[in-house]
């Protein structure tokens, strides 16, 4: 069969949660998506609370992935231990709550979702995401594996996708909040896009008020970033996977603009 998996870019703030709540179920219907993975690391701007995680699950996400802002709302810690449908990057070094690999049943298949985070220009204290991927993918029992690689550098994301080519059905990047137009299928069957983009205010710098970002680059005093106002977009990609061959057969952008 063909399994359709929708991957949704970082949900930013109230605006992002609102468009997700209103549009995700319709997008799932339109695309025929069987499974949806949503990156939620910016639901609070930075971080996510348990209430926001529940809202994203209620909107129609099967799994929430996170990233470098995982610990900005530290109250998520216990929730990460209790709720199997939310993942944080697997390669955090040390002893932190939660898990980075989840296995979920969908259409009679066991789908492994792996959340990893890059080190280049992001967090050099992490374990190697490449070695973590090897270790986790070799020991999990599943039919198909997909990866949210939360990373800054396009090079690191590309290298990861090629490294996992043939071992995973899909690898997508998150974190930069800027959608890329390089949807492709690698030679051994892994579907890949460098970055999904974000789900949040359109007229913004990565979801926040432009003035707040300009202030930072002009050397102004640090201030709390506020979410931008106005209409929102939902950035996502649809991966179509041949479940017998365990290969991706199509990757398409399925963005929504309001």
Active-site residue list: 69
For position 52 contacting Fe ion by CB under 5 A, the verdict is no
Q: How far apart are CA 187 and CA 207, in angstroms?
A: 35
Q: Which stretch in 20-28, 62-70, 74-82, 213-221 sits in contact with Fe ion by CB under 5 A?
A: 62-70
Q: Which is nearer to Fe ion, 119 or 175 (CB)?
A: 175
Q: Which is nearer to Fe ion, 34 or 175 (CB)?
A: 175
For position 175 contacting Fe ion by CB under 5 A, the verdict is yes
Q: Which stretch in 35-43, 47-55, 188-196, 227-235 sits in contact with Fe ion by CB under 5 A?
A: 35-43
Q: How far apart are CA 235 and CA 222, in angstroms?
A: 29
For position 207 contacting Fe ion by CB under 5 A, the verdict is no
DSSP string, 97-152: SS-SEEEEEETTEEEEEEEEE--TTS-TTSPPHHHHHHHHHHH---SEEEEEEE-S
Decide: 177 and 206 in contact? Cβ < 8 Å: yes
- Angle of helix 154-163 versus helix 129-139 axis, rounded to 10: 30
Q: Which stretch in 161-169, 172-180, 214-222, 250-258 sits in contact with Fe ion by CB under 5 A?
A: 172-180
For position 132 contacting Fe ion by CB under 5 A, the verdict is no
Closest CA to 77 of 100, 44, 102, 49: 49
H-helix or E-strand spanning residue 160: helix 154-163
Q: Binding pattern to Fe ion, positions 65-84, x when CB under 5 A?
A: --xx----------------
Q: Which of 42, 52, 91, 199 binds Fe ion (CB under 5 A)?
A: 42
Q: Which of 10, 62, 148, 227 binds Fe ion (CB under 5 A)?
A: 10
Q: How far apart are CA 96 and CA 115, in angstroms?
A: 15
List of residues contacting Fe ion (CB under 5 A): 10, 41-42, 67-68, 175
């Amino acid at each position: 069969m063909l399994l359709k998996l929708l991957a949704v870019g970082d949900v930013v703030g109230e605006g992002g949660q609102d468009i997700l709540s209103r549009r995700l179920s319709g997008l799932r219907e339109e695309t025929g998506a069987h499974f949806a993975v949503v990156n939620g690391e910016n639901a609070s701007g930075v971080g996510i609370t348990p209430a926001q995680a529940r809202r994203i699950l209620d909107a129609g996400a099967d799994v929430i992935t996170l990233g470098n802002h995982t610990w900005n709302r530290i109250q998520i810690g216990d929730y990460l231990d209790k709720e199997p449908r939310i993942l944080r990057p697997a390669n955090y070094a040390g002893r932190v709550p939660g898990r980075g690999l989840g296995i979920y049943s969908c259409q009679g298949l066991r789908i492994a979702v792996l959340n990893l985070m890059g080190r280049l220009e992001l967090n050099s204290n992490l374990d190697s995401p490449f070695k973590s991927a090897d270790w986790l993918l070799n020991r999990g029992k599943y039919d198909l594996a997909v990866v949210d690689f939360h990373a800054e550098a396009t090079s690191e994301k590309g290298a990861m996708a090629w490294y996992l080519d043939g071992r995973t059905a899909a690898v997508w990047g998150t974190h930069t909040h800027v959608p890329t137009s390089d949807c492709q299928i690698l030679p051994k069957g892994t579907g890949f896009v460098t970055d999904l983009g974000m789900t949040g205010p359109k007229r913004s710098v990565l979801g926040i008020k432009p003035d707040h970002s300009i202030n930072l680059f002009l050397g102004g005093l640090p201030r709390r970033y506020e979410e931008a106002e106005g209409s929102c977009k939902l950035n996502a990609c649809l991966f179509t996977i041949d479940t017998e061959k365990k290969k991706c057969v199509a990757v398409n952008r399925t963005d929504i603009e309001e």
